[in-house]
Amino acid sequence: MRDFIELETRLVMSKHEAKKVACVCAYERQTLIAIDATARKGYIKPILIGEKARVKKALEDHQISSDYEIIDVDSDEDAAKKAVSLVHEGYVDLIMKGYIQTSDLLKAVVNRDQGIRDKPILSHVALIEVPYQNEMYFVSDGGMNTYPSFNQKKAIIENAIEVAHYLGVDRPKVALLDAAEHTNARISASYESRDLSNLKWNNAIVEGPISLDIAVSKTNARIKNYQGKICGDADILIVPDIISGNILGKAATHFTNGIMAGIIYGAKVPIILGSRGSNEIENEYSIIVACLVAQKERLS
């Protein structure tokens, strides 16, 4: 994959049925514009959840069709619970966060009795288009797990690999990022990366610790005489913690004019969160990524 246009083309060529998207608290401009744009293209069928009068006013304010299905609820908590119940009923294929606190939405998603968690953990999988490199990278986890343990990192890697498979990367190269390409007694995460890379991975090449420059630059890998399996051709970048992942994502978008989309993976359906800084285009691409993942079919 080179860019999001190629990814969208793959979605069109797959001739998939429009996915039903439950938008929780559908009041926010950027979210509604992205939903409307992808609905007009035939990718999704929106189900807008929230206080009905408030949803209708938001649609009117932003000159968006009011023909979409609206489910009236009294509160943000009820909206999140309704979206989760629609997943249980098999009525929706995706969940998208609107004007609601992320913690309030995820509380319903991970509820012990009524939640929809389907994997050991939920993790954020971002897809970043870097224009000057003409490449795209998966990055995880810069949005969910703060300081993941060894087992949580293993689950984060597994989630990212599955998403990559659904987007057409058959045997992704997974770089476990660190400050350098060797273990360091002062950096405990470097030993975790080494041990994770030594596990048996049948569906991916996993290597670490490895520095970012070696992971994404063949020139730097050659200059440093790096002899590993990943030499500037990583597909997936696994960060040691949420801080480094958040910084990496924002640096890519703000310093390089990159574009970032992403989903929460590990529930029964993909969840599109978006950040407060996401624009309509990034939200639209996040919907496209979620649609491809929801098909549960590998792209060729």
Instruction: Collect contacts of 183-192 with beta carbons under 8 A, ≥24 apart.
Output: 183/209, 189/240, 189/241, 192/150, 192/153
Q: In the chain, what are the domains?
A: 1-118+267-300 (3.40.50.10950), 124-261 (3.40.718.10)
pLDDT reported for residue 16: 84
Q: What is the pLDDT along the chain (300 residues), one digit of tens a residue?
A: 789 999 999 999 988 899 999 999 999 999 999 999 999 999 999 999 999 999 999 999 999 988 999 999 999 999 999 999 999 999 999 999 999 999 999 999 999 999 999 999 999 999 999 988 888 999 999 999 999 999 999 999 999 999 999 999 999 999 999 999 999 999 989 999 999 999 999 899 999 999 999 999 999 999 999 999 999 999 999 999 999 999 999 999 999 889 999 999 999 999 999 766 678 899 999 999 999 999 976 554
Phi, psi of 50 (to 5 degrees): 160, -170
| pLDDT, position 300 | 45
197-207: pLDDT as tens digits: 999 998 999 99
Q: Report CA torsion sign: 168, 170, 176, 177.
A: negative
Determine the pLDDT at residue 134.
81
pLDDT attached to residue 276 = 66
* Segment 229-283, tens digit of pLDDT: 999 999 999 999 999 999 999 999 999 889 999 999 999 999 999 766 678 899 9
Q: Distance (Å, rounded) from C-alpha 264 to C-alpha 242? A: 14
Residue 98 confidence (pLDDT): 96
The tokens of 88 are what?
């249980």
Q: What is the pLDDT of residue 57?
A: 97
Beta strands, E only, 28-149? 44-50, 69-72, 94-97, 123-130, 135-140
Residue 184 DSSP one-character state: B
